[in-house]
Structure 1
């Protein structure tokens, strides 16, 4: 029995929409626009412990569409999940939180953003696939470089 207590555990406790915002500051005039808008998509991810062995991971998409300087619409969606992770080494835990969990949440986020755009009267915005592994590795390298420069900086 004691061996089972030490076996690694990774499970989804809950997946939910944490926040959703739609702004159309120039409606109804922008609904008549025939010009192709510029679309800016920003993605971010966060993870934090919420209880012992429980972590909340959030993937956020901010989509801004403009014609010139006028905003047609802005959508911000935060898809979150609570994950149980126990008896996993810290370095593996970081990979699970930074890669595996966001990959599980992202399809929900993509669907929400597309649906909100359509319901707002615009063509759907289809978020491209994301390589969370590459994002995680780039973030780790940036942290290592920052730590190295901080340690090498003269006082």
Structure 2
């Protein structure tokens, strides 16, 4: 009798080839750490005619928690809306720090930092987008729907900025 299956693959007597362990990510919790909305248009009687100039800044931070394989990832979003005039006037400002507690397993140490700064924010972003939309609408403006963020590009920019700071510090 042969040790092959119907498709010709050997099953018995073949060395065990272990399947690589896939990374595992689980969101244990999400939270708003800080939220601020300033409606400068109403406070300063600013009349916004036409499409405003909206600037979005995103920063990320990740920290190890005391519990094994658990990490805090914080996405900091600052959104400034101004008029498109010679002297721009503030319309509104949203500052949001949104965090998640993640359980991360089976990720190599060398890949952990990019994983925390790319994959975890991708999971948080839809919630950040909804909060920004709701806050801008509740503040008296049309809902602001953030465009998708390329977290790989953002991560590369942060690495380049860090490398530049290090180079300037040693020069």
- Secondary structure at 1:51's aligned position in 2? coil
Alignment match, 1:19: 34
The correspondence for 2:62, drawn from 32, 40, 47, is 47
| Superposition pairs of residues 1-155 of structure 1, within 5 angstroms | 9-27=24-42, 29-30=45-46, 33-52=48-67, 53-67=69-83, 68-147=87-166, 153=171
- In structure 2, C-alpha distance between the alignment counterparts of 1:112 and 1:105, rounded to whole Å: 11
Alignment match, 2:6: none
Scaled by the length of structure 1, what TM-score is found?
Answer: 0.79
- Given the superposition, is the C-alpha separation of residues 8 and 72 from structure 1 closer, same or farther in structure 2, using an over 3 Å criterion? closer
- Given the superposition, is the C-alpha separation of residues 63 and 148 from structure 1 closer, same or farther in structure 2, using an over 3 Å criterion? closer
- Given the superposition, is the C-alpha separation of residues 33 and 147 from structure 1 closer, same or farther in structure 2, using an over 3 Å criterion? closer
* 1:18 CA displacement: 1.9
* 1:144 CA displacement: 4.0
The structure carrying a bigger helix percent of its residues is 1
CA contact (8 A) 1:79 1:106 kept: no
Gaps (5+ residues) in structure 1?
1-5
* 1:8 CA displacement: 5.5
Cα RMSD for the two superposed structures: 2.4
Higher-Rg structure is 2
The structure carrying a bigger strand percent of its residues is 1
Gaps (5+ residues) in structure 2?
1-20
* 1:16 CA displacement: 1.8
